[in-house]
Amino acid sequence: MTPETVIEIGTRTMVITATLAAPLLLSALVVGLLVGMIQAATQINEMTLTFVPKLAMVVVVLLVAGPSLLHALIDFATEMISSIPDRIG
């Protein structure tokens, strides 16, 4: 296995990781910003108030986008496993 192959596999792994994590993280970020603005406007500074909406949004995103995220992960894993003989030999 050449160094270029290792770099290619590492790059593709990081890209699929970012692709899978982006919907969850972005939804939590948006909800956190909205709750933060509401807290600033109402001057309610309760830390636990931001946790529940973020958690609920992450669950909703997982329910909605979960099958497509899982499909992308399975495709990547299948491709990596099936390319083992080519990469070794």
Please report the pLDDT score of residue 87 as a whole number.
83
- pLDDT at 25 > cutoff 80: yes
Contact yes or no for 16/73 (Cβ under 8 A): yes
Task: Please check whether residue 35 lies inside any domain of the structure.
Answer: yes
Whether the pLDDT of residue 89 is over 80: the answer is no
Q: Is 41 inside any structural domain?
A: yes
Domain assignment present for 9: no
Task: Quote the CA–CA distance of 89 and 71 in Å, as a whole number.
Answer: 28
| Domain count within the chain | 1
In a domain, 51, yes or no: yes
Specify if 54 maps to a domain: yes
Average pLDDT, the chain: 92
Q: What percent of the chain has pLDDT over 90?
A: 72
- DSSP assignment of 15-73 equals HHHHHHHHHHHHHHHHHHHHHHHHHHHHT---THHHHHHHHHHHHHHHHHHHHHHHHHH
Query: In which band, very low, low, confident or very high, does the pLDDT at 45 lie, cut at 50, 70 and 90?
Result: confident
15 within domain boundaries: no
69 lies in some domain: yes
Range of the domain at 44: 24-78
Residue 67, domain member (yes or no)? yes
- pTM recorded for the entire structure: 0.80
DSSP character at residue 47: T
Q: What pLDDT was estimated at residue 81?
A: 95
